[in-house]
């Protein structure tokens, strides 16, 4: 009997080694520019990044695919109503990179502020899910005061206005457009104008969390410290780029906050675990077997280099660098 075919993007962290353990699946890599061609081969499982919208149109393009999957935690690219109507399945890895993003945020705070100054401030966390809690855990271990806003975690949650009054503000919410507490555009230009001078603001969630005017307003305020890993639109283009390139007191990175070695490998590993269960395959060995022990890229020191590389690419008109960096990212060691 032929085995079900799984296609995954070349360059997916750890996929070559982890997916090779499957015995019940035939595994094939694909280049992202050749995504449309693989429909001809009748894959049952398609692993793709969150740029691929999962909806009825995608089902038409890939009629054989029963399981759409990503090795990230994101799901805002999925139309769950279409998924249910068509009887398809979506798999992701919730919380896989929470620790990685939290370490990125601590590295960012430490990059701008000495520990003595951090200790004098209080951190406001917007969203207290997996990532917000992971960041809070680091802050607690360092003796830094923090508060959070999350309408779904009502105990001890404070108002957004109180969060925005803190000396450090960090966003950790999913992108939602429906429900009682939509997050799209929740932080707008007026909110930026209310921030006190020298506030450090971080966005590692989704670019759309900030309204269209929020980023532009923050760039006008050179008295603010800014760390931005996500943009809207993404990657950023046009006139906005010139303002980003020349922005002071800022660090920009190409949507890689969660891309530490463990952050990326955990996503692949958790997806593989789910597929092992679904297809009754052999259990995987411990994830530690797939880790490497050293790399020149360290979470605690990489931020300035990332920012420099991205700005140089923009200055040189290399608009594709943003996506290229995401898709071909070096191993970045974990640890604060």
Please say if 206 is a catalytic residue. yes
Beta bridge partners, 165, equal: none
**Residue-range domain boundaries for the chain:** 5-92+262-290, 98-258+301-328
Q: Above 90 in pLDDT, residue 327?
A: no
Answer whether CATH 3.40.50.720 is correct for domain 5-92+262-290.
yes
Which is the catalytic residue, given 77, 172, 255, 311?
255
What pairs with residue 7 in β-bridges? 28, 46
The question of whether 255 is a catalytic residue gets the answer yes
CA dihedral of 104, 106, 108, 113, whole degrees rounded to 10: -170
DSSP collapsed to 3 states, 61-105: HCCCCCEEECCCCCCCCECHHHHHHHCCEEECCCCCCHHHHHHHH
Q: Is 121 a catalytic residue?
A: no
- The pLDDT value given to residue 91: 98
pLDDT above 80: residue 336: no
Full-model pTM? 0.92
Distances in Å between the Cα of 156 and the Cα atoms of 32, 135, 143, 300 are: 44, 16, 18, 30
Query: Given this model, what pLDDT does residue 1 score?
Result: 81
Model confidence pLDDT, tens digit, residues 73-132: 889 899 999 999 999 999 999 999 999 999 999 999 999 999 999 999 999 999 999 999
Helix (H) or strand (E) holding 270, with range, is helix 261-278
Query: Residue range 285-294: average pLDDT?
Result: 95
Catalytic residue selected from 145, 234, 273, 323: 234
User: Looking at domain 98-258+301-328, what is its CATH homologous superfamily?
Assistant: NAD(P)-binding Rossmann-like Domain (3.40.50.720)
- Residue from 206, 325, 326, 332 carrying the catalytic annotation: 206
Cα–chain center distance at 235: 14
What phi-psi label fits residue 112: left (phi over 0), alpha (psi between -120 and 50 degrees) or beta?
Answer: alpha
| Mean pLDDT computed over 195-202 | 98
């Amino acid at each position: 009997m032929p085995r079900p075919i799984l296609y995954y993007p070349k360059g997916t962290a750890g996929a070559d080694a982890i997916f090779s353990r499957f015995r019940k699946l035939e595994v094939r890599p694909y280049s992202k520019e050749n995504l449309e061609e693989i429909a001809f081969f009748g894959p049952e499982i398609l692993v793709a990044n969150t740029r691929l919208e999962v909806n009825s149109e995608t089902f038409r393009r890939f009629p054989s695919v029963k399981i759409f999957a990503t090795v990230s935690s994101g799901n805002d690219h999925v139309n769950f109503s279409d998924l249910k109507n068509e009887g398809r399945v979506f798999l992701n890895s919730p919380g896989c990179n929470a620790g990685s993003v939290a370490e990125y945020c601590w590295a960012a705070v430490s990059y701008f502020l000495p520990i003595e100054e951090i200790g004098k401030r209080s951190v406001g966390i917007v969203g207290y899910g997996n990532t917000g809690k992971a960041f809070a855990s680091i802050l607690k271990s360092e003796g830094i005061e923090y508060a959070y806003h999350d309408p779904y975690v009502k105990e001890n949650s404070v108002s957004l206005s109180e969060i925005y009054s803190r000396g450090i503000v960090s966003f950790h919410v999913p992108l939602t457009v429906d429900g009682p507490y939509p997050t799209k555009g929740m932080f707008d230009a007026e909110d930026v104008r209310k921030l006190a001078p020298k506030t450090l603001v971080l966005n590692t969630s989704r670019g759309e969390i900030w309204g269209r005017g929020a980023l532009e307003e923050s760039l006008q305020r050179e008295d603010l410290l800014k760390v931005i890993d996500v943009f809207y639109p993404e990657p950023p283009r046009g006139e906005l780029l010139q303002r980003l390139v020349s922005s002071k007191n800022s660090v920009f990175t190409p949507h890689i906050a969660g891309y530490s070695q463990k952050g990326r490998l955990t996503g692949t590993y958790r997806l593989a675990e789910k597929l092992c269960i679904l297809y009754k395959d052999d259990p995987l060995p411990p994830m530690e077997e797939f880790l490497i022990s050293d790399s020149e890229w360290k979470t605690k020191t990489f931020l300035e280099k990332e920012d420099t590389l991205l700005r140089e690419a923009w200055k040189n008109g290399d608009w594709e660098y943003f996506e290229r960096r995401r898709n071909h990212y070096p191993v970045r060691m974990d640890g604060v």
